[in-house]
Amino acid sequence: MDSDDFHHQQQQQQQQQRRRRSTTAVLLQQHQQQQPGVRWRAVQPARRSCSAVTERDMMMVTAGAWQPSRQHSLTAKRSSRVYRIPRSVQFSRLLEKDQEKHIRGIKKNSRSPHSYDVFLGGSCNPTTWRQDLAIPYLQDAGVSFYNPQVDHWSQDLIEIEHAAKESATILFYVIDSQTRNVVSDIETANFAGNHNNLVLVIHPQDAIAGSVVAGEPISFREAEDIREALTTLHKIAANQGTLVFDNIPEALNNVIQILKDKNRQSNDTVEDNPTYRKIRDAFNKFNVDAPGPGKMKISHVTRAIQFLANQNLSENDVLNLTSEHQDTKDVGGNHQVYFTFNQFYAVASKFLQLPDKNNRRNGFDIGHSYRLNVGRPLYLSHESVETTRSSKTTDIYLAGESGDDIRWREDIAIPMIKKSNLTYHAASKTDLSVLLDAHTLLFVIPNNSRSLATMTLAAYSIAKSCRMVICIQNLSKDYCTVRGEKLTQTAINDYNRGRIYLADLASRERVPVFESIKEAVEIAVQKSL
């Protein structure tokens, strides 16, 4: 090849590169025309030995909805909304070519999908519960597991860990008292809302002023905030029918039993299972006066459960147990609620597995708590969800801390809501029944509050597909005080990492996220009109 040909070939390659860049620019320009003021930014995670925030940290989100913490590299420009980029695009940008070959090798030699029985999630460094307790126990039982806690974390583990979470038979999460568990609380609450395979361990939180958490002493107020978040997590787990343990050995024993039962069920058809047959017979026995085949009145549901498990329940008790919307019809001026067999099975199977233990654990008043249901899932039709929206009792549910120095409710939200002639519920304590019955949820996470309980509740609400709006303000990375207490840099990083994680969860589900409280309230009002 002579010199002229060589230069000509170089020019062609440069032109092709310019065309590719031009195409990308056009696509971005088109998107920005559709979404004015929106620009993309990449969030890069800090290195860590436990990937508690792995795939979430790597998400591509729009700039400016909240200010980043120091450990993240961002391109900032003000915006109101958070969006997501498809996962395939994320990984193509995140993984270098030399890592791609490494990933292919790992996948080739790793276990196939659905091969892991247990995913070991939750608290990471400095905790050693995985190596000291969980792994030896599972190995002795011959149970396969995935351990995300590694000596040297790298980006090529993102996809592998995500696949392990999605394919694991059981998500085993431990909330230890040695760390703040900011991201673990948020992630666990989100999983509790949309996974029926979660087994949860929450260690007793007896932290007082001066207790060492994450390697540094914490104040009494921070200990209260951490405990409030765990109380919220307890309520969420109880509402979803997930039994919460206070120690790892007991929980692991339950995991082994669940896996044994599941293996037994896989050897037999569902219809051959004695529990299934008993519930089916009860459904057929009490399924009378229904408007059509395959449906049962809620009044007959209570009678059937009494027949099956000798439990006297009111109709409200049954509805609270499901935490889901049932099919409703107006019959003769009366509002009737009907259950399909799958919905009835989901309720009845809980009572046939009810543990004979006190419902109050470690000072948490969590009400009824049920064993993990590994049976048939509860299927809801789009129609049944739509028919209940008109029965919402509160227009806007206000979630977030309030006090002398946190006055977003009194100064901004409530006046704007009243001006629109809407109703509101200003929550002082978490009430899941009121929250799930509200038309629109407004979560405010201000820059002068840890807001761990609020973030935990918001993550659960995202999983439940609630109509909601979130305002997220990062803590100042240089100097931050909460109720008169100066936060350490480690604490600021921990709570800001939780904010970033929550914003990404919201972006995945197209939940609007704002930095401005006023803008968030305006959108919440619009959604409620």
Confidence of residue 244 (pLDDT cuts 50, 70, 90): confident
Q: Which residues of 298-316 are buried (b: 16+ CB within 10 A; e: fewer)?
A: bebbbebbeebbeeebeee
Decide if 512 contacts 523 (C-beta within 8 A): yes
Q: Which helix (H) or strand (E) holds 443?
A: strand 438-445
Q: Mean pLDDT across the stretch 375-385? A: 29
Q: Range with the lowest mean pLDDT among 2-6, 359-363, 437-441? A: 359-363
Write down the pLDDT at residue 292.
Answer: 60
**Residue 210: is its pLDDT beyond 80?**
no
Confidence of residue 206 (pLDDT cuts 50, 70, 90): low
**Residue 67: is its pLDDT beyond 70?**
no
Most confident range, picked from 23-27, 223-227, 286-290: 223-227
**Residue 504: is its pLDDT beyond 50?**
yes
Angle between helices 220-240 and 452-463 in degrees, nearest 10? 20
Q: Which residues of 158-185 are buried (b: 16+ CB within 10 A; e: fewer)?
A: bbbbbbbbeebbbbbbbbbbbbbbbbbb
Comparison of pLDDT for 446 and 282, the residue scoring more: 446
Angular region, 294: left φ>0, alpha ψ -120 to 50, beta rest: left
Q: Mean pLDDT across the stretch 325-348? A: 67
Confidence of residue 284 (pLDDT cuts 50, 70, 90): confident
Angular region, 367: left φ>0, alpha ψ -120 to 50, beta rest: left
Decide if 517 contacts 471 (C-beta within 8 A): yes
What's the rounded Cα separation, in Å, for the pair 373 and 258? 9
Q: Give me the amino acid identity at 74.
A: L
Comparison of pLDDT for 300 and 144, the residue scoring more: 144
**pLDDT one-digit tens code per residue, 509-529:** 999 999 999 999 999 999 999
Angular region, 517: left φ>0, alpha ψ -120 to 50, beta rest: alpha
Angle between helices 489-508 and 452-463 in degrees, nearest 10? 20
Write down the pLDDT at residue 253.
Answer: 93
Question: Which residues lie closer than 8 Å to 196 by C-beta, 6 or more apart?
Answer: 240, 241, 372, 373, 374, 377
Question: What domains appear along the chain, each with residue ranges and CATH number?
Answer: 36-94+389-529 (3.40.50), 99-264 (3.40.50), 270-385 (no CATH)
Can you give 337-405 as a three-state secondary structure string?
Answer: EEEEHHHHHHHHHHHCCCCCCCCEECCEECCCCCCCCCCCCCCCCHHHHHCCHHHCCEEEEEECCCECC
Helices then strands, each counted (H, E), the chain = 20, 21
Question: Which residues lie closer than 8 Å to 432 by C-beta, 6 or more apart?
Answer: 235, 236, 239, 323
**Residue 359: is its pLDDT beyond 50?**
no
**Residue 299: is its pLDDT beyond 90?**
no
Average model confidence (pLDDT) across the chain: 74
Decide if 253 contacts 243 (C-beta within 8 A): no
Question: Which residues lie closer than 8 Å to 180 by C-beta, 6 or more apart?
Answer: 213, 214, 226, 452, 491, 494, 495
Q: Which residues of 57-83 are buried (b: 16+ CB within 10 A; e: fewer)?
A: bbbbbbbbbbbbbebbeeeeeebbbbb
> SS3 for 96?
coil
Write down the pLDDT at residue 522.
Answer: 98
**Residue 365: is its pLDDT beyond 80?**
no
Alpha helix positions (H), 87-196: 87-94, 97-109, 129, 135-140, 158-167, 182-194
Write down the pLDDT at residue 94.
Answer: 41
Write down the pLDDT at residue 189.
Answer: 97
> SS3 for 160?
helix
What's the rounded Cα separation, in Å, for the pair 157 and 137? 25
Comparison of pLDDT for 131 and 156, the residue scoring more: 131
